Structure 1
Amino acid sequence: MLRLIRLKIQNFGQFLSNMIMPNISIFITWGIMNALFVPLGWQPNKILAQLIPPIIFYLLPILIAYTGGRLIAGERGGLVGSISAVGMITSTDIPMFLGGMICGPLGAWVIKGFDQIIKNRIKSGFEMLVNNFSIAIIGIFLTIISFFLIGPLIEWISNSLGSILKIIINFNLLPFIAFIIEPAKVFFLNNAINHGIFSPLGIQEISENKSSLFFLIESNPGPGLGVLIACFFFGKEESYKSSGGAAIIQFLGGIHEIYFPYVLMKPILMISLILGSMTSIFMLIFFKGGLISAISPGSILSILAMTKKGLYFANCISVFSSFLISFLSAALFFKINLGKKTEYNKKSTKLFKNNLYSIKKKSDQKYDFIKKIKNIQKIKNIIIACDAGMGSSAMGASILRKKIENKNLTHISISNIALNLLPKNADLVITHEKLTCRAKKYAPNSQHISLKNFLDNDFYTTLVTQLYEKKEFYKKNNIQDKKDNFSEKNINSNKKIQSKNFFQISKKNIFLNQHAKNKQEAIKIVGKYLVEQGYVKTDYIDAMLDREKIVSTWLGESVALPHGTIEAKDSILKTGVIFCQFPKGVHFGENIDDIAYLVIGIAAKNNEHIIVVSNITNALDDKNIITRLSKTKSVNEVLSYLNSNVKKN
């Protein structure tokens, strides 16, 4: 239950972050122009200063609304979200970032619902007319609603939040927000907090004060730097050796995710982060510090660039003091633990020696899960994903890419990306263990492995070693990296077989509205029909079940293709196909969402299975066709789709 709640919060936080992150460069543009051309800037210019208000009042809210709409309903959602944001912007005199984060998704949900209603009901030739006018009409209504309702509501909320924050600041309670921020950051909600909450609040405040401390609350690298330096000097475990390099990357590069694993290894360090963050916020309030724009990444260089004239001391003392407090407290925690460990070891030397072999064995098995990757020799692309796709994942991808190049595995591509942008066809996805559940949701058909630290050098070394050894094994044994390996003679033979069109699906091969509790039951149903129609002997059903134990026959996109093992060829009497529809679905794959609605059993003599599989996969290469076949009650409709493809081939 707690895991599900955490996943929901992470998804919502990431959605908020995803509306802001693509537009960070525009925030920075506005911040630099603000620092240069306003009356108190470095190069005051009244004429050029006129360019600044339109960016914050019009461009950014519309871009945020467009981005939010596009995330939900693609281009149409983005357009409707942008139109509806105009009404909200016009109705108020304050920057409408929070409003943009509401109007964009709202407009997208409306147009998405409309598209679902009219789906498959538009006459041919009228698609463009309906698409354009639907955006226009729905956009007009939403613009009016946002003008009279959303805009004033957001303005009232903003004013109320501003009043509450002023009370909190006046009573010196703001530093206590660190008790929420720092734990949330360590669980990879940092971008959601910074860009989904503090950036909009900062923009609202900056219109009055010309700078805002909200831009520096989450993005301050000081607390993380203090913890990493303490790990480097006082952490005795092997895993802390990399913390020195991580500190440089975190402070200068602004990649805060890099210190999260070190804290998760020693949770008491969370207290150090909280103390450091509280100190930072207190200093910002006391010296009236802050930045002129949102920053990303949270690097000291970005902080200095976004600090306006006169606030360098306030911001620098905030960063330094947070570093000092987190470092001293973390060092104390390490010292206390080290003392206890020494006393324990003196009393337990014998026990330690007796278990030395066991410990070593456990260490050797640390990365055994890498050896369980299926079809590792066929991996062509590896994606390392994190919340934003440009922090810790970029570092991990860089490390892995170098190791791949050193082993001359040039056929494998390495890339890093944000979780929500994961392609469904990735061969292997690597994420932090706290993010793997979310990654599987976005890329359900990929293989997934988890790590605890994006800078875990041993993890990448073990993975690359496995990839290299598999490549050398296949090369040494002259095994080609293909699903089926035949000589040119056999390939030509297959072409001849194909030209004969050796099987034809008929109504007797199609069974709709089947029901099964699990995939074993579904396979038995399919196998029974293969037996009844004279394609196979009864023992072929057991071979199909054995094949499923070796590796799942789940193809993805709601389709499973169960068949027998190689040893069961003698049980095949003639080539045949059974098409079974399971409207309620059957769980077939490894992931919870791997539900098959179409289960197609095959039995093929000799090498005919290549042509069988080719015909079926070509027939089902369209998601819309698969959806229709999953719901249809017409055998003739199934027959027309499958046999039309057989004739093409």
Structure 2
Amino acid sequence: MAQKGFRAKVQRFGSHLSGMIMPNIAAFIAWGLITALFIPDGYFPNEELASLVGPMINYLLPLLIGFTGGRLVYDIRGGVVGATATIGVIVGADIPMFLGAMAMGPLGGYLIKKLDDVFQDKIGQGFEMLYNNFSAGILGAVLAGISLKIIGPIINGITQVLIAGVEFLINVGLLPLANIIIEPAKVLFLNNAINHGILSPIAAEQSSETGKSILFLLETNPGPGLGVLLAFMVFGTGAARSSASGASIIHFFGGIHEIYFPYILMKPALLLAVIGGGVSGVFTYTIFNAGLTATPSPGSIVALMLMTPPGDHFIIALGVIVATLVSFLIASVILKASNSEGEDLSKATSQMEEMKGKKSKASDSLRGNEEQASTQQAEDVNKVVFACDAGMGSSAMGASLLKDKFKKADIEGIDVTNKAINDLTDEADIIITHKDLTDRAKEKIPSAEHISVENFLNSPKYDELVNRLKADE
């Protein structure tokens, strides 16, 4: 129980880190594209357009992160104070302040929330706007000053230590060993925390100076996962073998790495395959001094190629091929030597969803709530929302599956979408979550109907919902 509690805390912390970065990935990609295209060494050098690169990485991206971090804690009001607090660490540093933004954004949101808890109910009628504007303004100004004088220099020092550590690993040729930690962490659903919360901020600093960074490739290389899926296509049995081909397409071209996690959970020894693939891929990139201009998100081959600077496309592709080949060879040996190839993929997928959950509670009372929810009448259902931690991977696949079921059942006029739990709003009529995330979703939107599933990819709850809505037409 202690291990599960610790894992849940680490996952929740990782969720907050990645939750500040992932909603702003489009802005990172925009910066990466402008960098790749218009800097002096880019595809189409243009001095005027290249002038966007500095302000975007120094001001736009940290402010977006700070605003998002504050908004996660206390909606728009928290976002405004978080962004205001972030400007202090930006002005007081000579490097992009992503880590500072991830610290000051949530802090600003938290402090304005606590301030409102103390004073908001005591404000006289007619003075609400005065209090709201000046309390947030004064707190933002104070935090900006503290950030400039105190927090900024501290974060700047931490960042420099981290960068020096990464550069040391690169110089002594030990950077590939980082994947010994990264690959198992991915299967524990810490991939977003590691990539967007730790690697990307440091990589962005390196990219702003040299035009690329190898750190963007440590977690996002699709080769290790592809090698495992190919091995299942050749040496797997039953449902695992028949589903591996479709999963490989989703993983390699769609960039949804979560799709291969159940296959590793079926046979944990396959961790050796993805570790071997990850280490060999990064080793290849280290030899040829390869890197990307910005975070490839999702981690598909398409995103990797788009974020590759001129002249590095062959090396980036080679690293993916090497990682795939090494992972495939190790996984093939493991699968061929395995004496339990008849394991059920659906059982492993359920295990995957339990690993992804933020609480390890699947009590009988929760199941009772599921049954009660599934029997409720669907009156005026206009929007169904799938919610998971990041709002991109498994929830996106669940939403796509339900859309297809609605289409086949001729159910029209109901919007089906996916979101991160932190982004849920009360416009959702039905919210579908993994059973270990349902409590969080209920706390966020108690007014909606909540449906819990054990497996986003194949749940009988979907058919129950389709039949129920069809009967209500």
Shorter-normalised TM range:
0.7 to 0.9
Matched residue, 1:544: none
Give the structure 2 partner of residue 270 of structure 1.
271
Pick aligned residue for 1:376 from 371, 374, 377:
374
Determine the C-alpha separation between the residues in 1 that align with 2:41 and 2:225.
32
Shift of 1:337: 1.3
Q: Note the C-alpha offset of 1:447.
A: 3.7
Aligned to 1:383, the other structure's residue is in SS state strand
Structure 1 residue 133 corresponds to structure 2 residue 134: yes
- Summarize deviations over 1:474-533 as a string: whole Å, max 9, x none: x6xxxx89xxxxxxxxxxxxxxxxxxxxxxxxxxxxxxxxxxxxxxxxxxxxxxxxxxxx
Corresponding residue to 1:420 among 414, 422, 441: 422
> Distance in 2 between the 1:326 and 1:386 partners?
29
Work out the CA distance in 2 between the residues paired with 1:471 and 1:446: 14
1:95 positional shift:
0.7
Q: Which has the higher helix share?
A: 2
- 8 Å contact from structure 2 (residues 373, 449) kept in 1: no
Distance 1:284 1:438, change over 3 A: farther
Q: CA deviation at 1:91?
A: 1.4
With structure 2 as the length reference, what TM-score do the two structures score? 0.86
State the partner residue of 1:300: 301
**1:401-448 alpha-carbon deviations (Å, 9 max, x no partner):** 2123223344765332223234566545243x6756655654567444
Return the match for 1:406 from 408, 413, 431: 408
In structure 2, distance between residues paired with 1:170 and 1:85: 33
1:62-117 C-alpha deviation (Å, 9 max, x unpaired): 11111111111222211111122222111111111111111111212221121111
For residues 376 and 51 of structure 1, the distance between their equivalents in structure 2, rounded to whole angstroms, comes to 52
Contact 2:59 2:90 in 1 (8 A): yes
Post-superposition offset of 1:179:
2.3
- Aligned partners of 1:416, 1:231: CA distance in 2, in Å? 29
Secondary structure of the 1:307 match is coil
- Give the SS at the match of 2:125: coil
Matched, 1:391 2:393: yes
Match of 2:464 among 455, 463, 466: 466
- Alignment-mate amino acid for residue 449 of structure 1: S
Partner amino acid for 2:327? S
Contact map agreement 2:387 2:431 (CA 8 A) in 1: no
Output the amino acid matched with 1:374: Q
The residue matched to 2:122 in structure 1 has which SS?
coil
Instruction: Determine if the alignment matches structure 1 residue 429 to structure 2 residue 427.
Output: no
Equivalent pair of 2:290/2:315 in contact (CA under 8 Å): yes
Aligned to 1:199: 200
Secondary structure, aligned partner of 2:390: coil
In the alignment, is the contact (CA less than 8 A) between 1:68 and 1:78 conserved in 2?
yes
Deviation at residue 167 of structure 1 after TM alignment: 2.0
The separation in 2 between residues aligned to 1:93 and 1:134, in whole angstroms, is 30
- In the superposition, relative to structure 1, how do residues 371 and 53 fare at CA in structure 2: closer, same or farther (>3 Å)? closer
Q: Deviations over 1:314-346 (max 9, x none)?
A: 2111111111111111111110015x779xxxx
The answer (yes or no) to whether the contact 1:373–1:447 under 8 Å persists in 2 is: no
Q: Tell me the CA shift for residue 375 of structure 1.
A: 5.1
| Match among 450, 453, 462 for residue 453 of structure 2 | 450
Q: 1:242 to 1:341 in 2, by over 3 A?
A: closer
Q: Is the 2:37–2:45 Cα contact (8 Å) retained in structure 1?
A: yes
Alpha-carbon distance between aligned partners in 2 of 1:193 and 1:396, rounded to the nearest angstrom: 24
Structure 2 gap ranges (5+) = 343-366
Aligned mates of 2:45, 2:286 — CA distance in 1: 27
Distance verdict in 2 for CA 1:320–1:409, change over 3 Å:
same
Change (3 A) 1:87 1:370: closer
Match for residue 188 of structure 1?
189
Letter paired with 1:137: I
Paired amino acid for 2:432: V
CA contact (8 A) 1:289 1:311 kept: yes
Equivalent in the alignment of 2:25: 24
Distance 1:46 1:102, change over 3 A: same
Cα deviation, 1:287-326, whole Å, max 9, x if unaligned, reads 1111001121111111111100121222111111111111
The 1:441–1:286 alpha-carbon spacing in structure 2 relative to 1, beyond 3 Å, is: farther
Q: Which amino acid aligns with 2:245?
A: G
Q: What pairs with 1:32-71 in structure 2 (closer than 5 Å)? A: 32-71=33-72
CA pair 435-333 structure 1, distance change in 2 beyond 3 A: farther
Say whether 1:72 aligns with 2:70.
no
Unmatched tracts of structure 1, length 5 or more = 343-368, 482-649
Residues 223, 90 of structure 1: alpha-carbon distance in 2 compared, 3 angstrom cutoff: same
Displacement of 1:371 in angstroms is: 12
2:454 is aligned with what amino acid? Answer: L
Structure 2 counterpart of 1:105: 106
Number of equivalent positions: 442
Give the CA deviation at 1:35. Answer: 0.9
SS in 2 for 1:384: strand
State the 1:129 CA deviation. Answer: 1.2
Counterpart amino acid of residue 280 in structure 2: T
Measured at CA, do residues 464 and 41 of structure 1 come closer, stay the same or move farther in structure 2, by a change above 3 Å? Answer: closer
Question: Counterpart of 1:120 in 2: which secondary structure?
Answer: helix
Q: Sequence identity, in percent? A: 45
The 1:436/1:93 distance shift into structure 2, 3 A limit, reads same
User: Deviation of residue 206 (structure 1)?
Assistant: 1.5
Return closer, same or farther for 1:396/1:370 CA change in 2, 3 Å cut-off: farther
| Residues 36-65 of structure 1: per-residue CA shift (max 9 Å, x gap) | 111111111122211211101111111111
Q: 1:208 Cα deviation (Å)?
A: 2.5
CA 1:470–1:316: 2 relative to 1, 3 Å: closer
Distance 1:471 1:384, change over 3 A: closer
Between 390-399 and 76-85, report the one with greater CA deviation.
390-399
Letter in 2 for 1:138: L
Query: For the residues of structure 1 that align with 2:280 and 2:156, how far apart are their CA atoms?
Result: 32
- For residues 188 and 439 of structure 2, the distance between their equivalents in structure 1, rounded to whole angstroms, comes to 13
Letter in 2 for 1:177: A
Q: How do residues 536-547 of structure 1 correspond to structure 2 at under 5 angstroms?
A: none
Contact 1:395/1:455 (8 A) holds in 2? yes
Kept in 2, the 8 Å contact 1:221–1:319? The answer is yes
5 Å-filtered alignment, 1:618-629, equals none
Give distance in 2, aligned partners of 1:62 and 1:426.
33
Q: How far apart are residue 390 of structure 1 and its match?
A: 2.3
The answer to which structure, 1 or 2, has the higher relative contact order (CA under 8 A, 6+ apart) is: 2
Q: In the alignment, what sits opposite 2:10?
A: 9
Q: In 1, Cα distance between the equivalents of 2:88 and 2:468?
A: 60
Alignment of 1:132-531 (within 5 A): 132-337=133-338, 373-374=371-372, 376-377=374-375, 378-379=377-378, 380=381, 382-410=384-412, 413-423=415-425, 426-431=429-434, 439=441, 442=444, 446-452=449-455, 454-456=456-458, 459=459, 462-467=460-465
Q: CA separation of 1:446/1:62 partners in 2, compared to 1, >3 Å: closer, same or farther?
A: same
Contact 2:453 2:461 in 1 (8 A): no
CA-based RMSD: 2.5
Change (3 A) 1:469 1:166: closer
Determine the C-alpha separation between the residues in 2 that align with 1:40 and 1:63: 27
Are residues 341 and 289 of structure 1, via their aligned partners in 2, closer, same or farther at CA, if it must alter by over 3 Å?
closer
In the alignment, the residues of structure 1 paired with residue 82 and residue 464 of structure 2 have an alpha-carbon distance, to the nearest angstrom, of 48
Inter-CA distance 118–471: structure 2 relative to 1 (3 Å threshold): closer
**What CA distance in whole angstroms lies between the structure 2 residues aligned with 1:12 and 1:304?**
31
Counterpart residue type for residue 393 of structure 1: S
User: Which letter maps to 1:388?
Assistant: A
Instruction: Tell me the amino acid that sits aligned with residue 243 of structure 1.
Output: A
Rounded Cα–Cα distance in structure 2 between residues aligned with 1:85 and 1:60: 11
Q: Is the 8 A contact 1:371 1:466 kept in 2?
A: no
Deviating more after overlay: 30-39 vs 236-245: 236-245
| 8 A contact 1:188–1:387 mirrored in 2 | no
